[in-house]
């Protein structure tokens, strides 16, 4: 892993910091210093709200190196409220609950780790927006009765 | 004589936020696996972090919730709050790195870098309230406008050990600032510590060791009651003067009996007790109990908070809720403590083992 490359993109990965165009007010993500709408220079930082909806998605079963432990996981194209389309992993959601148009919100999570001794890479992912079906999953009633033959209580004061 | 603490300029909580991961392991699963169901768990279930979660990511979400509530409470925008944030402090015993601060990751994610203090705190389960005490001093002395104190853990218990039943994940973040902008004012606090060897984890060891039942009377109860009694005496208050009291909660029984021994009624204790639903969140435990209480407290309510950390010590705080709490709770995008508790996906022991990283892929 190239540490410098990750370090340079910290702001955009951790908190979706992109840019806003001073000429046409277009919102730009990821930042590229030139407005894709009017081709003028655009270097003013702009932090995105992290809200949007799913434009398209696909579930990965054979994950590339560094992502094996997360498989299967779903990757989506997310249309941000401010306009840009971004690719990101979905989290806190079951594959079969995902649908096109699903409102999502950005969270910062572990993207990958460089082995047991290497760096942890953090960045944005999306999850179903709070209140959206699929975000809270099942409220299962749990049978918590202790069996009758239970003999001792586990009690440590931490 | 108890050393009662109060800052030179009044300080309060301007924003607060909780976080609990979505997965739950019912403790009966642990009992069935290791004791054929013979052991009765001290909690019903506990929260388990997802594969992509750790103390840094959980602290970031709690901190964002605190910042959003602070926007409402202070009537300042988020970038102005972040620009005037002079300390980002994270208390935990499960920081993702042995060397490399969690706090700089959190500070970067909430836009508080580069001109801020950042540090990781460590004192078993009271690392978070320790950071809160220091934050009160940092703001109260006028060194900075705002300071963020987080208590968060993704606790580890050795498979089959008593701790495995309760070791949960979650915590809370508090933005401390001037009392004029606060949703709850800090009236005063006390810290009480002694060298008590009830629980420890040596360098390079994955799981902690504990002194079994010794963790109760000389450790938990002695420190919690000494700190609380010291604070009540210094402030000339009695349990009936409080609407709520929150204690560190390693299991369901301890905070209830500690509270009742001190003279608090169950009704003052229940709203802040989450351990039965999310397990013991260590440095997050008493702090997330307080977010649950702030979610429902009314202006004028007085709240007592007493933490406990092994090794050992307690921090005790007296707070009074202000009318700003009503506005602070209005952001519909900020999940309440109850929202996090309800967001629940039950897993079995095999899935739990995978999430804890106990299966090796290579
Ligand atoms: Zn433009």
Cβ-nearest to A70 among B52, B125, B343: B52
Q: What is the pTM of this model?
A: 0.93
Provide CB contacts within 8 A for B11, sequence distance 6+. B136, B139, B140, B176, B177, B178, B179, B182, B185, B186
- Beta carbons of B43 and B166 less than 8 angstroms apart: yes
**What's the confidence (pLDDT) of residue A143?**
36
**What's the confidence (pLDDT) of residue B214?**
67
What is the average pLDDT across A5-24? 92
Give the helix/strand (H/E) hosting B189: strand B184-193
Three-state DSSP at A72 gives: coil
Class of the domain covering B186-325: alpha beta
Q: Whole-angstrom Cα distance, residue B339 to residue B352?
A: 22
Strands (E), B143-183: 146-154, 169-178
CA of A41 to the centre of ligand 1 (A): 8
**What's the confidence (pLDDT) of residue A145?**
36
Q: Whole-angstrom Cα distance, residue B347 to residue A85?
A: 33
Class of the domain covering B11-184+332-351: alpha beta
Question: Nearest residue of B to residue A135 by CA position?
Answer: B343
- Beta carbons of B46 and B274 less than 8 angstroms apart: no
**What's the confidence (pLDDT) of residue A154?**
52
Domain limits, CATH 3.40.47.10, in chain B: 11-184+332-351, 186-325
Domain ranges of chain A: 3-128
Tokens of B177: 């600032």
Three-state DSSP at A133 gives: coil
pLDDT surpasses 80 at B90 = yes
Give the helix/strand (H/E) hosting B285: helix B285-294
**What's the confidence (pLDDT) of residue A142?**
36
C-beta atoms of B39 and A152 within 8 A? yes
**What's the confidence (pLDDT) of residue A140?**
37
Question: Each residue of A105-141: pLDDT tens digit?
Answer: 999 999 998 777 888 999 999 999 987 755 544 433 3
Least confident of A65-79, B131-145, B152-166, B310-324: B152-166
Residues of A with CB under 8 A from a CB of B: 10-11, 14-15, 17, 47, 68-70, 91-92, 105, 107-111, 120, 122, 125, 130, 135-140, 142-144, 146-147, 149-158
Predicted-complex ipTM score: 0.93
Nearest Cα of chain B lies from the Cα of A118 at a distance, in angstroms, of 10
Tokens of B191: 């810290």
- Residue B278 forms contact with A (CB below 8 Å): no
Alpha carbons within 13 A on the beta-carbon side of A59: 12
C-beta atoms of A108 and B57 within 8 A? yes
């Amino acid at each position: 892993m190239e540490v410098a490359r990750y370090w340079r993109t910290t702001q955009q990965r951790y908190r979706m910091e992109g840019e806003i165009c001073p000429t046409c007010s277009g919102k730009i993500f990821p930042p590229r210093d030139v407005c894709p709408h009017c081709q003028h220079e655009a270097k003013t930082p702009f932090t995105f709200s992290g809200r949007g909806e799913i434009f398209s998605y696909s579930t990965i079963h054979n994950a590339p190196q560094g992502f094996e432990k997360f498989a299967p996981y779903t990757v989506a194209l997310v249309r941000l409220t401010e306009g840009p389309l971004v690719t990101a992993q979905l989290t806190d959601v079951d594959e079969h609950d995902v649908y096109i148009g699903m409102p999502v919100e950005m969270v910062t999570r572990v993207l990958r780790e460089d082995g047991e001794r290497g760096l942890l890479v953090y960045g944005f992912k999306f999850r179903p927006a709070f209140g959206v079906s699929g975000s809270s999953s099942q409220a299962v009633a749990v049978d918590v009765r202790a069996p009758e033959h239970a003999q001792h209580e586990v009690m440590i004061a931490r | 004589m108890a050393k009662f603490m109060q800052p030179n300029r009044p300080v309060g909580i301007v924003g607060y936020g909780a976080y609990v991961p979505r997965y739950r392991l019912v403790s009966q699963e642990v009992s069935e696996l290791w004791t054929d169901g013979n052991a009765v768990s001290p909690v019903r279930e506990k929260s388990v972090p997802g594969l992509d979660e750790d103390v840094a990511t959980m602290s970031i979400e709690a901190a964002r919730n605190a910042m959003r509530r602070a926007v409402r409470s202070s009537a300042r925008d988020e970038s102005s709050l972040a620009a005037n944030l002079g300390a980002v402090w994270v208390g935990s015993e499960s920081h993702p790195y042995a060397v490399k601060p969690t706090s700089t990751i959190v500070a970067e994610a909430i836009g508080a870098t580069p001109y801020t203090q950042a540090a990781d705190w460590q004192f078993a389960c009271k690392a978070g309230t320790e950071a809160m005490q220091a934050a009160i001093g940092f703001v109260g002395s006028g060194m900075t406008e705002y300071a963020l104190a987080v208590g968060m853990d993704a606790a580890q218990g050795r498979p089959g050990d008593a701790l495995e039943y309760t070791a949960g994940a979650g915590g809370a973040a508090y933005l401390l600032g001037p009392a004029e902008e606060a949703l709850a004012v800090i009236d005063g606090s006390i810290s009480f510590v002694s060298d008590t060897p009830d629980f420890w984890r040596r360098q390079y060891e994955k799981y902690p060791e504990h002194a079994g039942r010794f963790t109760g009377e000389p450790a938990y109860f002695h420190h919690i009651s000494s700190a609380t009694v010291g604070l009540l005496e210094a402030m000339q208050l009695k349990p009936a003067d409080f609407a709520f009291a929150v204690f560190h909660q390693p299991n369901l029984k301890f905070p209830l009996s500690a509270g009742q021994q001190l003279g608090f009624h169950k009704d003052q204790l229940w709203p802040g007790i989450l351990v039965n639903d999310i397990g013991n969140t260590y440095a997050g435990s008493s702090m997330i109990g307080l977010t649950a209480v702030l979610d429902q407290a009314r202006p004028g309510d007085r709240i007592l908070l007493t933490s406990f950390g092994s090794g050992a010590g307690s921090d005790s705080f007296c707070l009074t809720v202000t009318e700003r709490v009503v506005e602070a709770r209005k952001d519909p995008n900020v999940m309440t403590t109850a929202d996090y508790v309800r967001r629940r996906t039950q897993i079995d022991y095999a899935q739990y083992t995978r999430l804890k990283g106990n299966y090796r892929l290579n």
